[in-house]
């Protein structure tokens, strides 16, 4: 809050501090390595065929590039495709099970130019190779955004691409209304653009489509799991309410939120 009548200069606003504060307050907390380890097999069944992958890969300019660092690579939905376009791919993730699945996928496809790296945002990256291109796809759930952006920028020779969710929630507002839950949303992508600007980086932004969660609800169980992933452990009353809500959804209602938007933020070195 700023006092009425007090002039505030844009350069005096610490956008990273605003991000950090909002990140600390948000209802949606970052997941630990064990949670991502458990999610790896389920993710591998779904993540490879996606309109998001197609749009992200189309946006990446690999002209005169030979190498790429994929930060938060998961099971390799982008690394595997980029390995067909570039000589060397470094695939980094803090979940060893994600990397094991990526290596299995690469072996089945006879892809030999992927090098896996088991590191987190908070480990030292001194030994991680630099690359012509650095990407961080849907993997920027960090405590300190400026710290993470500096790491990406330092490892890139030519270009950086990252994506961040548009809007501060993965959950449909109707679900929250049904549960009678109030949430504190996560920081939106606009924080990142302003932090980069204050770092002296003028970035470009475009918007990608991704399948929304409602399009991936195969059954009641997957619906419950998805909501629980965002909100954490649910009470018995909340579970009952969600099951009743799922049973009441029409096909049209499930299709309504078929797609969500991600901001693709990029810059040249």
Taking residues 98-124, what's their average pLDDT?
98
* pLDDT for res 138: 96
Global pTM value: 0.83
Taking residues 76-97, what's their average pLDDT?
98
Contact between residue 68 and residue 133 where contact means Cβ atoms under 8 Å apart:
yes
Residue 218 has pLDDT above 80, yes or no: no
Q: Between the ranges 10-24, 85-99, 160-174, 222-236, where is the mean pLDDT highest? A: 85-99
Sorted by where each begins, the domain ranges of the chain are 10-170+183-212+260-268
| 41-55, 131-145, 153-167, 248-262: the lowest-pLDDT one | 248-262
The rounded distance, in Å, linking the Cα atoms of 121 and 144 is: 10
CA distances from 100 to 38, 75, 116, 236 (A): 12, 8, 9, 35
CA distances from 159 to 134, 135, 195 (A): 6, 9, 17
pLDDT in tens, 16-26: 999 999 999 98
Largest Cα separation within the chain, whole Å, is 65
CATH number assigned to the domain covering 10-170+183-212+260-268: 3.40.50.150
The rounded distance, in Å, linking the Cα atoms of 183 and 27 is: 6
* pLDDT for res 256: 59
Taking residues 210-217, what's their average pLDDT?
63
Q: What is the b/e burial string over 123-132, where b = at least 16 CB atoms within 10 angstroms of the residue's CB? A: eebeebeebb
The rounded distance, in Å, linking the Cα atoms of 162 and 144 is: 15
**Residue that is written with structure tokens 């099971």 in the block:** 75
When comparing pLDDT for 211 and 78, which is higher?
78
Residues whose CB is less than 8 angstroms from the CB of residue 42 and which lie 6 or more positions away in sequence, other chains included: none
Q: Is 68 left (phi over 0), alpha (psi -120 to 50) or beta?
A: beta
């Amino acid at each position: 809050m700023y006092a009425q009548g007090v002039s505030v200069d844009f350069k005096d606003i610490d956008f990273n501090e605003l991000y950090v504060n909002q990140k600390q307050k948000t209802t949606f907390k970052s997941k630990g390595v064990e949670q991502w380890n458990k999610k790896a097999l389920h993710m591998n069944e779904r993540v490879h065929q996606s309109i998001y992958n197609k749009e992200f890969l189309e946006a990446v300019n690999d002209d005169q590039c030979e190498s790429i660092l994929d930060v938060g690579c998961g099971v390799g939905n982008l690394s595997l495709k980029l390995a067909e376009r570039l000589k060397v791919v470094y695939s980094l993730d803090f979940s060893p099970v994600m990397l094991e699945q990526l290596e299995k996928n690469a072996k089945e496809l006879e892809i030999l130019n992927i090098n896996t790296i088991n590191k987190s945002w908070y480990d030292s990256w001194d030994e991680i190779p630099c690359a012509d291109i650095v990407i961080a796809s849907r993997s920027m759930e960090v405590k300190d955004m400026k710290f993470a952006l500096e790491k990406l920028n330092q490892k890139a020779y030519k270009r950086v691409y990252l994506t961040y969710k548009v809007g501060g929630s993965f959950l449909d507002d109707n679900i929250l209304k049904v549960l009678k839950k109030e949430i504190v949303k996560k920081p939106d992508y606009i924080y990142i653009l302003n932090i980069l600007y204050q770092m002296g980086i003028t970035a470009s932004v475009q918007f990608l489509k991704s399948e929304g969660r409602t399009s991936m609800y195969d059954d009641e169980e997957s619906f419950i799991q998805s909501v629980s992933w965002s909100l954490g452990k649910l009470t018995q009353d909340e579970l009952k309410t969600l099951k009743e809500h799922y049973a009441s959804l029409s096909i049209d209602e499930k299709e309504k939120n078929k797609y969500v938007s991600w901001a693709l933020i990029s810059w040249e070195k």
